[in-house]
Amino acid sequence: MAKPEYKIKMRDAAKVEKLQEESYQIPVLQTREELVDFLIKNKAYPYCSKTGKIFFRRLKKAEDENTNFEGIIKNGAVEKLGLQTEEDCRFLREKIKEELSKKWEYKPTIKDWPEEERPREMLMKRGAENLSPAKLLAIILRTGDGVKRISAEELARNLMDCFGNFRNLDSASFSELCSVEGIGMAKAAQIKAALEIGKRFLREKTKIGRKIKSVDDVVNYYKPYLRDLKKEVFKVMLLDGRNKIINDITISEGSLTASVVHPREVIKEAIKESAAAVIFVHNHPSGEPKPSEEDIEITSRLVQACDLVGIRVLDHIIIGGDGYMSFVDAGLMKEG
């Protein structure tokens, strides 16, 4: 039985030949600028493996945009782009993201980024301690500004550019936080809540019922709350007979320069809580913990008043910025 003959019509043969030619026609991109523009159009990001091999990853949205992508990359792209290390790749990834962000028709959200660049994925893979302040803040913010198409990390960077560090963020008011574009009351509340968790974490080491053994215990308890306040606040730590914390009382809140402290208020609170000893603590908004003449005078009057009712005064500590001053350590009073 004769085998059937298969023939391709001239019209079909020409079509196949044309398709084959097109599949092998790879544009030659000569300059680095052309290649960078090609990567931007294809939403492709360079990476460096642990063995030093450079490779590229494209976003899913761009997979069908250019059928010659692999061919162009293999045609000397790595060398022309000057990519040798992960630092080179990271720098180029940032440039690609920056250029994409300028285009209104495609302003990528964090979900569009490569997984290795997303804050939450980075935290899970590398650990929170290895993330930048902006990336940590982006995780707290969760979302960006959908109307203006600003990602959560862009918002976080804007906040850090505006306030400089977490301490300044913590001391900023709600209105100051909301003055940053894209930050409303909800996001401002998220920031305040996260910072408060951090301060309470520090306090857990010296919580109610724990024994005060040193000046550092007192400083660690109060410093996160007092060091950045814009007004002077006078506190009293109430202790039992074994120097364990009973309570923490605010006696007065003053102006930018001074607070008004009445011995009777201190005595009243101490007696109400059956305190056997007290430690006075207040802050200096100026950041300078050196005691003023008024500080020394009020401390003397408080010690005398407490002596009359049998309450020991263990110390008076002034917190100013990152520093502090102990009246006992400075020889300005004797420990009760």
Considering 101-115, 200-214, 318-332, the range whose residues carry the highest mean pLDDT is: 318-332
> Are residues 138 and 71 located together in one domain of the fold?
no
- The residue among 288 and 207 whose pLDDT is bigger is 288
In a domain, 3, yes or no: no
What are the pLDDT digits (tens) for 255-286? 645 567 888 989 999 999 999 999 999 999 98
Q: Which of 54-63, 93-102, 157-166 has the highest mean pLDDT?
A: 157-166
Regarding whether 187 and 215 lie in a shared domain, the answer is no
pLDDT at 103: 63
Q: Is the pLDDT of residue 1 over 60?
A: no
pLDDT confidence of residue 204: 66
Statement: residue 317 has pLDDT above 90 = yes
Eight-state DSSP code of residue 112: G
Residues 221 and 165 in one domain: no
Residue span of the structural domain in which 300 resides: 208-326
319 found inside a domain: yes
Which of the 8 DSSP states describes residue 321?
T
Domain-located, residue 16? no
Residue 84 predicted with pLDDT over 80: yes
Instruction: DSSP letter for 269, please.
Output: H
61, part of any domain: yes
Sign of CA dihedral 59, 65, 67, 71: negative
Q: Tokens 């079509």, residue?
A: 15
pLDDT at 168 over 90: no
94-107 average pLDDT score: 70
Residues 195 and 217 in one domain: no
In the chain, % of residues over pLDDT 70: 79
Shared domain check, 256 and 196: no
Residues 127 and 82 in one domain: no
Q: Which residues neighbour 298 within 8 Å (Cβ) at sequence distance 6 or greater?
A: 261
One domain, residues 125 and 44:
no
In terms of domains, do 98 and 39 share one?
Answer: yes
One domain for residues 218 and 176: no
Would you say the pTM of this structure is higher than 0.75? no
**The predicted structure's pLDDT at residue 27:** 60
* DSSP conformational letter for 5: P
Give the domain-ending residue among 170, 201, 232.
Answer: 201
* Angle, in degrees to the nearest 10, between helices 133-141 and 152-163: 120
- Picking from 85, 106, 127, the residue at the C-terminal end of a domain is 106
Q: Which of 149, 174, 201 is the last residue of a domain?
A: 201
